[in-house]
Amino acid sequence: MRDAAPVDHATATGPGRPSLGERRRAALRLDIAREAVRLFTSQGVTATTGDQIAQAVGISTRTLWRHFPTKESCVRPLLTAGLDAATDELLRRWPPDSALLDFLTATCRHGGLPSADPAVLDLIRMTHTEPALRAVWLQAHDDALSVLAELLARRSGRSPGDLRVRVHAATVNGALRAAAEDFALRFSDDVDASDDELAACVHAALRAASEGLPY
């Protein structure tokens, strides 16, 4: 698949605030991701072409390749959005006087987790049979490690490069990935699976992580 051409990034209109052009690009990328997942789910990854994805979104194939290098990478914005939401909900609001697991337990009990996106769940299920999608899923989590490390380092007063911080960030990251996969696979036939079940998966995964190695 051809490489993507460089994307021209607009200048932000203020500190930390994306410009109108950036917001439009982000919205377009999400539209592309959702159409890619829909097509992958309905007809398979192999049978889906970049031309079909572009046509479904209403853009040219050339525009599609300006945003993504491969058809599989088109799904990346959905995964990134889900990870960003989880990070915001689970860590940015973590009170300074609360242990992480206690805070997460309370968050899960009170419905504080982001709702499960059906498209993301379909995508996660496909990562178990489609190696190229699996690579995108794992890369999205790998990229999230630096964000998690920054947040945990700020809380602990250590450097983001500190080994303990990096191990803790990897542990939280792995627990969130395992919980998402567990929920997506176990409730694949239950379209009415509630956010409570997702919260239970997240809580169980993080509790297991907090218990450390079993030997």
pTM of the model: 0.81
Instruction: State pLDDT tens for residues 65-114.
Output: 999 999 999 999 998 887 777 677 666 778 888 887 788 777 766 666 66
Inter-axis angle of helices 100-109 and 195-210, to 10 degrees? 170
Three-class secondary structure of residue 73 per DSSP: helix
CA separation, residue 82 to residues 30, 52, 144, 180 (Å): 12, 25, 11, 10
Report the C-alpha gap between 138 and 184 in whole angstroms.
16
Tell me how many degrees the CA angle 68-120-212 measures, rounded to the nearest 5: 110
d(CA 93, CA 90): 7
How many CB atoms are closer than 10 A to CB 98? 12
Is the pLDDT at 3 greater than 60? The verdict is no
Query: Which tokens sit at 66?
Result: 């300006």
Question: Mind listing the pLDDT tens digit for each residue in 38-66?
Answer: 999 999 999 999 999 999 999 999 999 99
The residue-averaged pLDDT of 161-185 equals 93
pLDDT band at 18 (very low <50, low <70, confident <90, very high): confident
